[in-house]
Structure 1
């Protein structure tokens, strides 16, 4: 059991509201929506916390979020924001002020999308790392989690189980042996262990678990598989893929500041690079993103990593505004 003090009730309600807001912006099920309505109706404080969060999001982050939903629209939005600012300077005094205000709102939305695309998710979690940051987290039972850059982890310990949820990014767990089960949730799947060392990486709507020591059981969509040391498995809401051998030196190299990969889709490699640099990387072609690549590079120099990938594959790369990198065939 955890010895941590009880959380502040108001803070807990705000965290619950943020969690519901984040969940409902995705493909929530009918059952989840009914559960949300029940939570909202249970207390006026619940409804007020949710409404305040929704209002704040509509005023600041919503423009950037809407842009992020359509890749082509993302680029148009960012460029339009910069064009609006330039156009405002050429207007008469009164119209210039109005145009500047509109451009500022656009740029605020673009800034949220570029620099803090997971802002709402961060509000609903316990541990967050920024881009370029790796941090060791001490969990209440003595277990540890090393979080890779731009990762988010939530924990919920009870007398009967030790449960954590990896919302995004990568985490390497060293679990303290106990009769109380240790469970990791990620993208619709669950990993159950008693005492072991393993790595979990969230990649969009899937995740990959790599086992270094001990044994883990992975469950997703009713399917179950048990991993032995030196094995890895990709899973998600569509179930489990076949268990495959892992290259531990390669798969766990991020802990030492390197990223090594073999026959990995370019889009997933760019996602890893993006966690170590400011701004965003956009890839505008699905077929290009699906191309498999192999290599290794230091995570501290992402410009060199992008140049190396460009040289090996031959894609076009444009840098806009110092924060946006656009990849195309």
Structure 2
């Protein structure tokens, strides 16, 4: 395997360059207590200084295993010696120093380094709050749209791309990489894809999967050392539910090549249990909806609503299904007759 070819880049923001200088200097073998005191004074002089230094630290941390590679160590060592150069040479060295560190931090490499970066272990976690949606570009070019109230973690390594959906719902547009499958894992089972578009929704004790493009393989949840149990393969338009080690095909379908309605703020229910519809609305409002009688959760409802219009949803339940509603003192919507 050939050595990465790191490319220097000149320029950049002056404060960021100063932050880079301090970051390198403090990691040099000959960094002194005077250096640390001077750095502390620089840091406390401006909020911009603190923000710039935090950006450099965050960028460095994002490189994980590559941060300790010998090549990067040599570049940092060379950069950290720059202040010790002769006066005339030092001015030139100092101009090059930020660029050298920028190259080390940016790790712009040719050829083999690009492949190494993609296969190095990387981890990240993403969360959305009530009423918040977020779109995330992953390291391999895949995109994930997170619905409100969603928690997921991402780990990429040489063997694959691993997503754990802890709660909520996400829409995945997967970049093709035949050498590294893309797995989305939930408590109820997992979904494997190579290059496709699909949605996974975490519901109580189950996971709903809808395929919009390509194909995905559904798998049962298994212990770490247990063999994989393949449950089936979906084709575009199909939906299925993973639960208790089984795959159940859904009667409803999605439009192949389309996108989930919630990406545009709409919630679509088709013969959906009321308990699930209520859970959908609770993603979007701090004024929660609850059921006075849990048995009411089995009532089937249909309709298209705006996610931020809980009043319209509750009004429709009263008009179409005769389900009454009242408010509590804290603004909670209670569906069904009071006890």
- Does TM, normalized by the shorter one, top 0.5? yes
Distance 1:323 1:278 in 2: 9
1:218 maps to 218
Q: How far does residue 311 in structure 1 lie from its aligned partner after superposition?
A: 2.2
2:313 maps to 305
Distance 1:158 1:285 in 2: 47
What SS class does the counterpart of residue 235 from structure 1 fall into?
strand
Alignment of 1:205 with 2:205, yes or no, is yes
Structure 1 runs, 4 residues or longer, greater than 6 Å off:
none
What SS class does the counterpart of residue 254 from structure 1 fall into?
helix
1:322 maps to 330
Distance 1:152 1:125 in 2: 11
2:40 maps to none
Return the match for 1:271 from 258, 270, 279. Answer: 279
CA RMSD of aligned residues (A): 2.3
Distance 1:235 1:210, change over 3 A: same
What SS class does the counterpart of residue 154 from structure 1 fall into?
strand
Distance 1:145 1:251, change over 3 A: closer
What SS class does the counterpart of residue 137 from structure 1 fall into?
strand
Residues 125 and 152 of structure 1 are in contact (CA less than 8 Å); yes or no, is this contact kept in structure 2?
Answer: no
Q: How far does residue 223 in structure 1 lie from its aligned partner after superposition?
A: 4.9
Distance 1:199 1:302 in 2: 23
Return the match for 1:259 from 260, 263, 267. Answer: 267
Distance 1:283 1:243, change over 3 A: closer
Q: How far does residue 325 in structure 1 lie from its aligned partner after superposition?
A: 2.1
Return the match for 1:239 from 225, 239, 246. Answer: 246
1:174 maps to 173
Distance 1:313 1:251 in 2: 29
TM-score (norm 2): 0.58
Distance 1:275 1:268 in 2: 11
2:151 maps to 152
Distance 1:197 1:251, change over 3 A: closer
Q: How far does residue 186 in structure 1 lie from its aligned partner after superposition?
A: 1.4
Residues 210 and 251 of structure 1 are in contact (CA less than 8 Å); yes or no, is this contact kept in structure 2?
Answer: no
Distance 1:166 1:134 in 2: 15
Q: Which structure 2 residues correspond to residues 66-85 of structure 1 after superposition, within 5 A? A: none
What SS class does the counterpart of residue 249 from structure 2 fall into?
coil
Q: How far does residue 245 in structure 1 lie from its aligned partner after superposition?
A: 5.0
Residues 187 and 237 of structure 1 are in contact (CA less than 8 Å); yes or no, is this contact kept in structure 2?
Answer: no
Q: How far does residue 282 in structure 1 lie from its aligned partner after superposition?
A: 1.8
Distance 2:259 2:242 in 1: 16
Residues 124 and 155 of structure 2 are in contact (CA less than 8 Å); yes or no, is this contact kept in structure 1?
Answer: no
What is the total number of aligned residue pairs between the two structures?
A: 211
Distance 1:150 1:310 in 2: 27
Q: How far does residue 324 in structure 1 lie from its aligned partner after superposition?
A: 2.1
Q: How far does residue 150 in structure 1 lie from its aligned partner after superposition?
A: 0.9
Distance 2:298 2:252 in 1: 22
TM-score (norm 1): 0.60
Distance 1:307 1:245, change over 3 A: closer
Residues 146 and 172 of structure 1 are in contact (CA less than 8 Å); yes or no, is this contact kept in structure 2?
Answer: yes
What SS class does the counterpart of residue 277 from structure 1 fall into?
coil
Instruction: Give the number of the structure whose residues are more often helix, by fraction.
Output: 1
Q: Which structure 2 residues correspond to residues 82-231 of structure 1 after superposition, within 5 A? A: 126-179=125-178, 180-220=180-220, 222-231=229-238
Distance 1:244 1:227 in 2: 13
Q: Which moved more, 1:233-242 or 1:161-170?
A: 233-242
How far does the alpha carbon of each residue in 1:170-223 deviate from its partner, in whole angstroms, 9 at most, with x for none?
100000000210000112301000000001111111111000000000011535
1:12 maps to none
Segments of 5+ residues of structure 2 without an aligned counterpart are 1-60, 66-122, 222-228
What SS class does the counterpart of residue 312 from structure 1 fall into?
helix
Distance 1:125 1:176, change over 3 A: closer
Q: How far does residue 328 in structure 1 lie from its aligned partner after superposition?
A: 2.2
Residues 209 and 241 of structure 2 are in contact (CA less than 8 Å); yes or no, is this contact kept in structure 1?
Answer: yes
